Amino acid sequence: LMYAYHLSEFDVQCAAIARGLATQVPLNVLRVFTWNQAELLVTGRNEVDLRLLREMTVYDSPFTESHPTMRLFWEMMEEFTPAERSMMIKFAWSRDRLPLTAADFSSKFKITRLHTSNPNQSFPQAHTCFFTIDVPEYTDLEAMTQRCRYAIENCTSIDNDGAAGDFQVEEDDEE
């Protein structure tokens, strides 16, 4: 009796999930996929495909893919861990995964120049609704990486878009 109970204890919840899914996708279509395939289609890959991201990136003048700051940006992205890459996507778009294909993107990733008097001391800013980041015209990979890491680790609220302003960190000369 206990065995039978445990086999069916979640039937009501599973039926509710199935009814909800059926409002979006016909259940007979879902049966074609394994759970791994269905998860991939719904949530995307958990690792950021940098080739796809580069393909889906547009630049605002003066930036181009060959601009020195953008070469530093992509070098930084290559050096980031998979978790940091996901955090960068979340910083820029408020999601931590990319769509599976270029055709699945609702908008391209846009990188614009953040005008600031001291670029290597400034932080990037994100506009998550537009999948856009404003990047200072960094000239130093270490400075860019440090500022971007700080931003992606500490600026996770989308409620403050544009509220932070242009803030800078003074270097500590005693290092």
Positions marked active-site = 129
Distance CA 67, CA 52 (A): 19
Q: Are 165 and 122 in contact (CB under 8 A)?
A: no
- Burial code (b: 16+ CB inside 10 Å, e: under 16) for 115-151 equals ebeebbbbbbbbbbeebbbbbbbbeeeebbbebbeeb
Distance CA 88, CA 48 (A): 10
Q: What are phi and psi of 133, to 5 degrees?
A: -125, 140
Structural tokens at position 89: 């996507």
Structural tokens at position 112: 């614009």
